[in-house]
């Protein structure tokens, strides 16, 4: 499978209409038509955690995935046992488990990660995944 995996902040920015880097926008636009833009189930958990900590509004979480997936070209990916194991085995560049799950999901599904997280980008620099800065 080839396509793009959106980091949680990229999902929020797209849903809220916040501008992202031109290269990331182009890649997303091109991947939408063949239906190759993916969001991980871990992003739903991460957004709910942000709402619990009042870093984002609960209204952003309630139904956000359904609205995003209703848009042509977006698909959800489950968190699989293979991804969970790969996430645990990643080098200790980043300790955030949600981000490690996203990196592992990109690896397992041969996806390019769309992120601005510098620690996640360090995995790409180390050859553990491919990434585009958003």
pLDDT digits (tens, 9 = 90+) for 62-79: 677 777 778 778 899 999
Instruction: For residue 69, give both structure tokens.
Output: 């997936």
What are the tens digits of pLDDT across the range 80-89?
Answer: 999 999 999 9
- What are the C-alpha distances in Å from 58 to residues 23, 63, 91, 99? 30, 10, 33, 21
Radius of gyration of the chain (CA): 14
In DSSP notation, 79-119 reads --HHHHHHHHHS-TT---HHHHHHHHHHHHTTEEEEE--HH
The CATH number given to 3-133 is: 3.40.50.1010
Confidence of residue 60 (pLDDT cuts 50, 70, 90): low
- Continuous segment of H or E residues that includes residue 4: strand 3-6
pTM of the complete model:
0.91
More confident residue, 60 or 129: 129
- In this predicted structure, the answer to whether residue 59 has a pLDDT above a threshold of 70 is no
pLDDT by residue (tens digit) across 17-44? 899 999 999 999 999 988 899 999 999 8
């Amino acid at each position: 499978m080839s396509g793009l995996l959106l980091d949680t902040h990229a999902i929020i920015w797209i849903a809220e209409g916040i501008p992202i880097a031109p290269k990331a926008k182009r890649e997303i636009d091109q991947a939408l038509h063949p239906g190759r833009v993916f969001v991980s189930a871990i992003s739903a958990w991460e957004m709910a955690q942000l709402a619990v900590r009042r870093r984002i509004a609960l209204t952003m979480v309630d139904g956000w995935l359904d609205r995003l997936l209703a848009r042509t070209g977006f698909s959800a990916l489950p968190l699989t046992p293979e991804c969970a194991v790969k996430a645990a085995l990643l080098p200790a560049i980043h300790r955030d488990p949600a981000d490690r799950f996203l990196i592992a999901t990109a690896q397992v599904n041969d996806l390019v990660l769309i992120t601005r997280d510098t620690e996640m980008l360090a995995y790409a620099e180390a050859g553990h995944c491919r990434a585009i800065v958003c």
